[in-house]
Amino acid sequence: MLIGKDMARKGGTAVFFWATLLLWSVLVIFEVFFNQRKELSMICVGFAFFQAANWVLRRGVSRDPLFVNTAVSLLHSLLTSVSVIVVLVNEWMNNGVDKMFEHKQLFGGIWLGAYTTICFSCGYFAYDQLDMLRYRLYSGWLPSILAHHLVLLLCFTLALYRHVTVNYLLLTLVCELHSIFLHARKLRRMIGVKDGQRMVVRVEWAFQWASFFIARLICHLLITCKLILDASKFGKGIELPLALLGMAGMNLLNVSLGVDLFRACKREKVQQRHQE
């Protein structure tokens, strides 16, 4: 009975996320092709690009769905990190740090390349949601990864549609620098480079922790503080509540991720001692 109820819950979860993804897809397609919002077409380009990368890896490298999904996620993290750095450095050189982080710039401005980067990442999140649902690469009756992707799709698409808070969203993507090391660690374990076998693993952990604290934990906390400090400058729309809710969710996920990383690091150190 318990197993049956658990299966029913998981089935209901899948139906909910399939339905929301389908609804999101219909809305994006309608905006691009019927309302002539051509600037949103990069969402479709991003989706097609990462789906094509999945197809190439599946036929040329491995047919393991989890391996392919992780490899494509690593590709996204690499491309997004480079894009974010280029956008930020370009804006810093042209306008300086002070002007960059003014409220009017973060809320209503759009840095050169920021809109395209957000669209491309939005396409990736849609692809990743589809891939995880298709191959059941999630666990639990309310998977955090699927909920995370759904929230991102809603927030990103709304911002892109209304041309507001795009620069804020770009700053949240700085965390993709840390995601590079998360996905790299997962892949090297899949291909058999086990814990404590090589010096590269120790170096990987050093970059793992540095990028976690700087690019993810501290960066997201600073964005949250900026939102709170500039709360009075927002209008009466839904942008501020939605932004604060999204950042609260991200910060909670960061804490949970930090705990998981600490446990994994501790476990690897114990295993290394036994090997020595």
Tens-of-pLDDT digits for all 276 residues of the chain?
A: 434 444 445 567 889 999 999 999 999 999 999 999 999 999 999 999 999 999 999 999 999 999 999 999 999 999 999 999 999 999 999 988 888 999 999 999 999 999 999 999 999 999 999 999 999 998 877 788 898 899 899 999 999 999 999 999 999 999 999 999 999 989 988 887 665 556 777 788 899 999 999 999 999 999 999 999 999 999 888 889 999 998 998 999 999 999 999 998 888 777 766 665
**C-alpha pair distances (Å), 210 with each of 88, 174, 216:** 20, 13, 10
Are the CB atoms for 160 and 122 separated by under 8 Å? Answer: yes
Instruction: List pLDDT tens digits, range 142-198.
Output: 788 898 899 899 999 999 999 999 999 999 999 999 999 999 989 988 887 665 556
pTM of the predicted model as reported, rounded to 2 decimal places: 0.92
84 vs 78: CA distance, rounded Å: 10
Query: Which of 64, 55, 44 has the alpha carbon at shortest distance from 135?
Result: 64
Domain boundary assignment for the chain: 2-275
Rounded Cα distance between 137 and 2, Å, is 22
Of the candidates 189, 163, 181, 183, the one whose C-alpha atom is nearest the C-alpha of residue 271 is 189
Distance between first and last Cα of the chain: 47
Any alpha helices (H) in the chain, and if so which ranges? 2-33, 41-60, 65-100, 103-107, 114-135, 144-162, 166-172, 176-190, 199-211, 219-229, 239-275
3-class secondary structure, 266: helix
